[in-house]
Amino acid sequence: MNPILDLLSAHRSIRTYTDESVADEHVRAAVEAGQRASTSSAVQAYALIRVRDAATRERLVALTGNQEKVARSGAFFVVCGDTRRHRLACAREGAPYDARLEAFLVAVIDASLFAQNVCLAFESMGYGICYVGGLRNDLDVLDRLLEIPEGVYPLYGLCVGRPAENPLPRPRLPLDAVLFEERYPDDRTMQRHLDAHEAALGDYYAKRGRAGRTWTASVAKALSVPRREALAAYYAKQGADLG
Ligand SMILES: Cc1cc2nc3c(=O)[nH]c(=O)nc-3n(C[C@H](O)[C@H](O)[C@H](O)COP(=O)(O)O)c2cc1C
């Protein structure tokens, strides 16, 4: 329909990259595009840390559950929600910093809108990207490696590089399963959407040699046991009020 919609619909996470590094000018262009994202009351509660050091990136491979792409991508970044500069601004104004859960949510939301704009900018320049939530496996170690100060909340990693693979696009839920009119649908309707999604995914899994897999099984596997239970303590230590 237009080049931007084409770019959006062409997205697939890329996990294998050529050896090409990501030029600083491309990083700067992508981050500038990221900064144009909407931001709650213009607070711009985010920061992006590029990690170049090979030894640090190897440490992060282990930390993320052996995700080799963290060391092998053309560039690796850590996306952070950032309230540090708000704390400094309050101090400059002689005011206390007394923001609560709302401020933490704003930081997560702002950082994610920023990050997704950054990703789209990279994709528009022919790069592939992959977010890395595995970074939250051990935030205490990450914190020490990157000297993260109070008020900064590392959220996830981001691999960027020239694609060395061409994966099948991963199907999404049917449009009607996420776009509702006036009110939220009942569970029977929701179940029908799940059936439609499973039917569409069957083909995708079969093409990838994983016939028999289901979306509900993978969701249940991921969400039926607590994961990363140290997160609340870590973010609270960083100054987030999660109460
Ligand atoms: C916040 C976030 C964290 C993610 N973490 C990982 C990760 O640790 N490792 C990985 O290989 N992919 C990760 N992904 C990529 C998702 O698995 C991927 O976006 C999803 O399966 C849909 O596939 P697609 O991006 O190819 O369309 C993450 C995505 C998001 C948004």
In order along its 243 residues, the chain shows pLDDT tens digits of 899 999 999 999 999 999 999 999 999 999 999 999 999 999 999 999 999 999 999 999 999 999 999 999 999 999 999 999 999 999 999 999 999 999 999 999 999 999 999 999 999 999 999 999 999 999 999 999 999 999 999 999 999 999 999 999 999 999 999 999 999 999 999 999 999 999 989 989 999 998 889 999 999 999 999 999 999 999 999 999 998
Do 193 and 146 lie in a common domain?
A: no
- From 101, 102, 99, select the one nearest 85 (Cα to Cα): 99
Q: Strands 128-132 and 75-82, how do they pair?
A: unpaired
Do 186 and 147 lie in a common domain?
A: no
Do 63 and 122 lie in a common domain?
A: yes
Residue 44 structural domain: 3-167
Do 185 and 217 lie in a common domain?
A: yes
User: Whose Cα sits closest to atom 3 in ligand 1?
Assistant: 133
- Residue among 14, 68, 118, 132 whose CB has most ligand 1 atoms within 8 A, to mutate: 132
Distance, CA 130 to ligand 1 centroid (Å)?
Answer: 6
User: Whose Cα sits closest to atom 7 in ligand 1?
Assistant: 132
Do 37 and 76 lie in a common domain?
A: yes
Total domains, the chain = 2
Distance, CA 77 to ligand 1 centroid (Å)?
Answer: 15
Amino acid occupying residue 14: I
Of ligand 1's atoms, which has the minimum distance to the CA of residue 65?
A: 8
Do 148 and 190 lie in a common domain?
A: no
Distance, CA 143 to ligand 1 centroid (Å)?
Answer: 22
pLDDT tens per residue, range 187-238:
999 999 999 999 989 989 999 998 889 999 999 999 999 999 999 999 999 9
Do 100 and 183 lie in a common domain?
A: no
pLDDT at 225: 96
- Residue among 131, 137, 213 whose CB has most ligand 1 atoms within 8 A, to mutate: 131
Distance, CA 233 to ligand 1 centroid (Å)?
Answer: 25
User: Whose Cα sits closest to atom 25 in ligand 1?
Assistant: 13
Do 222 and 149 lie in a common domain?
A: no
Do 183 and 81 lie in a common domain?
A: no
User: Whose Cα sits closest to atom 27 in ligand 1?
Assistant: 12
Distance, CA 158 to ligand 1 centroid (Å)?
Answer: 10
Do 133 and 173 lie in a common domain?
A: no
Contact indicator for 243, 99 with CB cutoff of 8 Å: no
Residues near ligand 1 (Cβ within 6 A):
11-13, 15, 67, 130-134, 156, 170
Q: How far apart are CA 243 and CA 237, in angstroms?
A: 13
Which of these three, 134, 167, 200, is where a domain ends?
167
Query: What is the domain-level CATH number for residue 160?
Result: 3.40.109.10
Do 179 and 92 lie in a common domain?
A: no
Which of these three, 110, 137, 167, is where a domain ends?
167
Distance, CA 84 to ligand 1 centroid (Å)?
Answer: 27
User: Would the CA dihedral through 60, 64, 66, 67 be positive or negative?
Assistant: negative
pTM, full prediction? 0.97
User: Whose Cα sits closest to atom 22 in ligand 1?
Assistant: 170
Do 137 and 175 lie in a common domain?
A: no
pLDDT tens per residue, range 127-139:
999 999 999 999 9
Which of these three, 139, 167, 195, is where a domain ends?
167
